[in-house]
């Protein structure tokens, strides 16, 4: 566990008001908030998108979720939201951050929900290995549709053997592995289409993460994010800012966020179905 530098997962947990973070994460998070006060609402809007996505897909009959880069399972985790709709939903959480994995295990143990849910330590950059390990838990049936969630993870640089980002290449392999009828949900920070006043702040934000944290950032354009869906069929309303994705699925107790414009959420989001 690297406690000398802030972790993306733990800092995100801090933005969401969680407790699975350390002094180094809170200090870094406060520096980010000082320059980019909207980041807390950005993080919350992304979490609410995840909640709406899970709620919507569960209503469509999806009963299996593979949540890669799940981070620390704070309130509103995938299995908790799905359980509001159906008791037979199964979830496998994946992360390479030890604190996130440990807290997920504690949460599942405390809830007594190990029969339907599991957590594994895995690397997004190893699709075949990760898929095999997720199926080996016995939680997922590889012959039935699975909702693959890549929420706020692909804007973290995924270095390959030669040092180049291989995020898109890995997503393409995941699309191949998913059975027909599966879904792919993605959210991704972008400077494409944001208000000019936020453009400079996003540059500064990425520089702060590149310089201080254990992970670098990579901002894709909206077309590049849409291309991650391959030939999957985008669900309505398409690739939109997080607050615009099916707001009618927002839970009754969800906190309210007021952006002057949806583009202030700076995160594009979409869900697509494999034919």
Question: Is residue 220 helix, strand or coil?
Answer: coil
- Which CATH number goes with the domain that contains 240? 3.40.50.150
Check residue 34 and give its pLDDT.
Answer: 94
Number of domains, the chain: 1
Residue 62 domain-assigned (yes or no):
yes
CA distance 53 to 57: 6
Check residue 198 and give its pLDDT.
Answer: 92
Residue 174 domain-assigned (yes or no):
yes
DSSP secondary-structure letter at 72?
S
Check residue 172 and give its pLDDT.
Answer: 98
Residue 227 domain-assigned (yes or no):
yes
CA distance 10 to 26: 9
Residue 140 domain-assigned (yes or no):
yes
Residue 209 domain-assigned (yes or no):
yes
Residue 2 domain-assigned (yes or no):
no
Contact 94, 123 (CB under 8 A): no
DSSP secondary-structure letter at 92?
E
CA distance 40 to 128: 34
Phi and psi at residue 84, to the nearest 5°: -65, -25
Distance of CA 263 to the CA centre of its chain: 18
Return averaged pLDDT per consecutive 10 residues of the chain, 275 residues in all: 80 90 93 94 96 97 97 82 94 91 87 88 97 97 97 95 96 98 98 92 88 83 98 98 96 87 97 98
Residues near 170 by beta carbon (within 8 Å), at least 6 away in sequence = 124, 125, 127, 158
Contact 100, 21 (CB under 8 A): no
Phi and psi at residue 248, to the nearest 5°: -65, -15
Residue 3 domain-assigned (yes or no):
no
Question: Is residue 66 helix, strand or coil?
Answer: strand
Check residue 258 and give its pLDDT.
Answer: 85
Check residue 46 and give its pLDDT.
Answer: 96
Check residue 8 and give its pLDDT.
Answer: 87
Residue 1 domain-assigned (yes or no):
no
CA distance 147 to 172: 15
Dihedral, CA of residue 247, residue 151, residue 117 and residue 63, to nearest 10: 50
Contact 79, 117 (CB under 8 A): yes
Domain that includes residue 218, residue range: 8-247+255-273
Question: What's the full length of the chain, in residues?
Answer: 275
Contact 164, 129 (CB under 8 A): no
CA distances from 30 to 11, 33, 37, 39 (A): 10, 5, 9, 10
Check residue 2 and give its pLDDT.
Answer: 64
């Amino acid at each position: 566990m690297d406690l000398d530098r802030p972790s993306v997962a733990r800092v995100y947990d801090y933005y969401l008001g969680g407790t699975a973070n350390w002094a180094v994460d809170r200090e870094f998070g406060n520096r980010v908030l000082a320059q980019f006060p909207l980041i807390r609402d950005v993080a919350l809007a992304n979490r609410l998108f995840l909640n709406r996505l899970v709620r919507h897909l569960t209503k469509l009959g999806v009963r299996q979720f593979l949540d890669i880069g799940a981070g620390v399972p704070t309130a509103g985790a995938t299995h908790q939201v799905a359980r509001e709709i159906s008791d037979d939903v199964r979830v496998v959480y994946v992360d390479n951050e030890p604190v996130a994995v440990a807290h997920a295990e504690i949460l599942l143990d405390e809830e007594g929900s190990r029969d339907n849910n599991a957590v594994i330590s895995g690397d997004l950059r190893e699709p075949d290995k990760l898929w095999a390990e997720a199926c080996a838990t016995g939680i997922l049936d590889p012959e039935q549709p699975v909702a693959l969630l890549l929420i706020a993870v692909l804007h973290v640089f995924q270095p390959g053997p030669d040092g180049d980002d291989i995020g898109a290449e890995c997503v393409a392999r995941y699309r191949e592995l998913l059975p027909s009828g599966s879904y792919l949900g993605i959210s991704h920070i972008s400077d494409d289409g944001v208000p000019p006043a936020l453009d400079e702040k996003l540059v500064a934000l990425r520089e702060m993460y590149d310089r201080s944290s254990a992970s670098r950032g990579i901002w894709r354009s909206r077309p590049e994010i849409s291309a991650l869906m391959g030939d999957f069929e985008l669900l309505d309303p398409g690739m939109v800012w997080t607050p615009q994705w099916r707001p009618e699925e927002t839970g009754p107790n969800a906190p309210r966020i007021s952006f002057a414009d949806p583009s202030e959420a700076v995160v594009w989001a979409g869900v697509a179905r494999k034919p």
